[in-house]
Amino acid sequence: MLGSSPLDLLGSWQLARTIEDRLVGATSTVDGETTLSAEADGRIRWHETGVLHHGGNDVPVFRTLYVERRGDAWVVTFEDGRDFHPWALDRDVVHPCGADTYTGHVDVDSAERWTVTWTTLGPAKDYTMVSILTR
């Protein structure tokens, strides 16, 4: 299945993200680029850069994650090495963070498009973030 290995997605992708914040009743967007690149240590570097458009303001944003093989599986980690979630297609993954719960879903539609959706719920958070990545 395409995307079952993150190696299938190496390269540069156009990033279009929509963040629907139900607590404040606002929608923000991010446009930018996501690059997945193989590192010498066998990990995949997942780097995003872009501009957040929120409330009339434009703010540069970036983040780096890694995807590493562990046995027969892949795991997404934060830049500092902490585990984030397993790499899984077509099924939800859950990341508890304090009082908040992040539920994510990765769908690979084709060799030219994939989507990452996060729904976050907690005492101070209620939003859905959809990232569409295209070649």
Would you say residue 129 lies in a domain? yes
Count of the separate structural domains present in the chain: 1
Would you say residue 51 lies in a domain? yes
pLDDT digits (tens, 9 = 90+) for 67-96: 999 999 999 999 999 999 999 988 999 999
End-to-end CA distance of the chain: 19
Q: Which two tokens stand for residue 22?
A: 């139900």
Domain CATH for 76: 2.40.128.20
Would you say residue 96 lies in a domain? yes
Would you say residue 14 lies in a domain? yes
Rounded to the nearest 5 percent, the helix, strand and coil shares of the chain are 5, 70, 25
Query: Which pLDDT score is estimated for 76?
Result: 97
pLDDT digits (tens, 9 = 90+) for 18-62: 999 999 999 999 999 999 999 999 999 999 999 999 999 999 999
Query: Which pLDDT score is estimated for 61?
Result: 98
pTM, rounded to two decimals: 0.93
- Is residue 109 within 8 A of residue 82, CB to CB? The reply is no
What separation in angstroms does the CA of 37 have from each of 9, 27, 44, 45? 9, 30, 5, 5
Residue 1: pLDDT band by 50, 70, 90 thresholds? confident
Q: Which domain holds residue 102?
A: 6-134
Query: Which pLDDT score is estimated for 2?
Result: 79
- Is residue 10 within 8 A of residue 44, CB to CB? The reply is yes
Would you say residue 29 lies in a domain? yes
Would you say residue 19 lies in a domain? yes
Would you say residue 91 lies in a domain? yes
Would you say residue 1 lies in a domain? no
